């Protein structure tokens, strides 16, 4: 499978899990050149096909396809790739359940097995710290750099009143983390509600976080999940292609 085809699957998987809706995007650093990354042109994630994937330099300028409409927030990707040589994939989303944690002082905490990476810390990016006025969109390289500095070495950061950014050493890791960040936020809200004000929620401790993260990376825990999600996305794409061919014949 080509990098473009793999990235299309990532778009479809994120949409299928409600992590992205008509907005949000995912990028992949190219294997042949670490100073380039792939990202779709400006469009809804669920409609992305391999033909819609463009190549960018790390300043987030398209390498060709100079006339294509581009995501305003593409700087999120380029600026993180510049500062994180360990990272090869970046997701930006408006994942609904994480939004409340970005606008309150309640921190996201590691609550269950598949959300253990949250224990590495999920800081919140406050755009007001970096601009006098304006909207919440990361529309300049400087704002992208500021977000990347808030993210630091962590796997994810919340964006106050906006959404989140999630990164991974692989495309699989960035997508899996995005899906489980959304689920973990929802479960944490439910646990906090059940516990009530002052009630106790038991979170993973540091040793559990470290042991779980180590196992999940080394034992290939996510492969079963990833293969399942890719197979479903692939089946959906093939159905669409078949329908398109049928319409053309009519
Ligand atoms: Mn956004």
CA of 151 to the centre of ligand 1 (A): 16
Kindly report the pTM of this predicted structure.
Answer: 0.96
Tokens at 233, concatenated: 């996305």
Q: Averaged over 40-58, what is the pLDDT? A: 96
150 with 117: CB under 8 angstroms?
no
Separation between Cα atoms, residue 87 and residue 73, nearest integer Å: 18
pLDDT at site 192 = 96
120 counts as catalytic: no
Q: pLDDT tens-digit profile of 82-129?
A: 999 999 999 999 999 999 999 999 999 999 999 999 999 999 999 999
Q: pLDDT tens-digit profile of 191-234?
A: 999 999 989 999 999 999 999 988 877 667 788 899 999 999 99
DSSP 94-141: --GGGHHHHSSSPPP---SGGGGGGGG---EE-GGGT-SS--S---SH
For 55, phi and psi rounded to 5 degrees? -105, 135
CA of 23 to the centre of ligand 1 (A): 7
pLDDT at site 219 = 60
118 with 110: CB under 8 angstroms?
yes
Of 6, 73, 79, 182, which is the active-site residue?
73
Domain ranges of the chain: 3-249
* Fold of the domain built from segment(s) 3-249: L-fuculose-1-phosphate Aldolase (3.40.225)
Look at residue 20 and give its three-state secondary structure.
coil
CA of 138 to the centre of ligand 1 (A): 7
């Amino acid at each position: 499978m080509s990098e473009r085809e793999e990235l299309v699957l990532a778009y479809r998987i994120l949409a299928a899990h409600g992590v992205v809706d008509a907005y949000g995007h995912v990028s992949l650093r190219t294997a042949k050149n670490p100073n380039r990354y792939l990202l779709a042109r400006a469009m809804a994630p669920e409609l992305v096909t391999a033909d819609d994937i463009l190549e960018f330099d790390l300043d987030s300028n398209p390498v060709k396809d100079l006339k294509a409409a581009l995501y305003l927030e593409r700087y999120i990707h380029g600026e993180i790739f510049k500062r994180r040589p360990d990272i090869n994939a970046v997701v930006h989303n408006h994942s609904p359940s994480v939004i409340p944690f970005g606008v309150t002082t309640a921190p996201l905490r590691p609550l269950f097995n598949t959300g253990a990476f949250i224990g590495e810390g999920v800081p919140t990016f406050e755009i007001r710290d970096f601009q006098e006025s304006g909207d919440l969109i990361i529309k300049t390289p400087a704002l992208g750099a500021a977000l990347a500095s808030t993210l630091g070495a962590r796997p994810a950061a919340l964006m106050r009143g906006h959404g989140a950014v999630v990164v991974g050493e692989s495309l699989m890791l960035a997508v899996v983390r995005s899906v489980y960040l959304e689920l973990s936020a929802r479960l944490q809200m439910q646990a906090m509600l059940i516990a009530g004000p002052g009630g106790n929620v038991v979170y993973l401790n540091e040793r559990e976080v470290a042991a779980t993260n180590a196992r999940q990376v080394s034992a290939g825990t996510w492969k079963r999940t990833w293969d399942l999600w890719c197979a479903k996305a692939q089946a959906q794409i093939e159905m669409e292609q078949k329908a398109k061919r049928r319409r053309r014949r009519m």
